[in-house]
Amino acid sequence: MKTILITGSSSGYGLETARYFLAQQWNVIATMRTPREDILPRSQSLRILKLDVTDEDSIAAVIAAAGPIDALVNNAGIGVVGVFEATPMSHIRKVFDTNTFGVMAMTQAVIPQMRARRSGVIVNVTSSATLAPMPLAAAYTASKQAIEGFTGSLAHELAHFGVRAKLIEPGYAPTTRFSQNTSVRVEDLIPEAYADFAAPIFAEFARPALTTREIDVAEAVWKAVNDSAGTLRFPAGPDAVALSRAA
């Protein structure tokens, strides 16, 4: 039975992906900053481990406890919506610590065992914000665009050893906790000078024509993990698919 390790599994895409792979008879290691036993079905195929992707010791402990990993899903992330001018650099660094450097650190930690076995897949979750320029998302997009370039290059490096690297690009999902896992409030990132600019954008956020469901992302991860055709990018959700086709 194969084993998948998923970061950021306490809610949203990570939680749904853990459920999906459990249903497909995989061993699932669901990791999160604050472990909760009540959010996933009890199963001998499930382990819930504490993980902070910004902490090297935490990463090392999880990798040691996990054992052989067939698939790593780097899903943990911090969202930030607001005017770049008003976003504190301290918060931008936190966003990059999780969204960019956390992904890189987890990837670097798992590569040696995959390389030695000459098998495995690393799946990095980015965003449809990387597919087309979007307002009020400059810092967030930058953190995710970095992972797009990183994963594309990594895919070439690891292919020599039979290890694959993939991208999942979810669309807009108003039901996720995108802006709830941050200490900075959206209202604080919209200065008065930008109010007229921001108002219609938030109105569109409130009534999107197409949205991404958590199951869309879980299914895209499943396709990516099982892909043998060399596909790098997997847009998830109807809006992301539409953007990828238009790009």
Residue whose token pair is 């008003």: 86
Q: Of 147, 110, 135, nearest to 203 (Cα)?
A: 135
184 close to 80: Cβ distance less than 8 angstroms: yes
DSSP code at position 40: S
Please say if 13 is a catalytic residue.
no
CA angle (13, 14, 20) in 5-degree steps: 85
The Cα 100–Cα 151 span in angstroms is 11
Two tokens, residue 214: 């958590």
Spot the catalytic one: 13, 20, 140, 172: 140
Cα distance between residue 216 and residue 108, in whole Å = 27
- Strand locations in the chain, DSSP E? 3-6, 27-32, 46-50, 71-74, 121-125, 164-170, 233-236
Give me the half-sphere count of Cα atoms (radius 13 Å) on the Cβ side of residue 26.
22
Residues marked as catalytic: 140
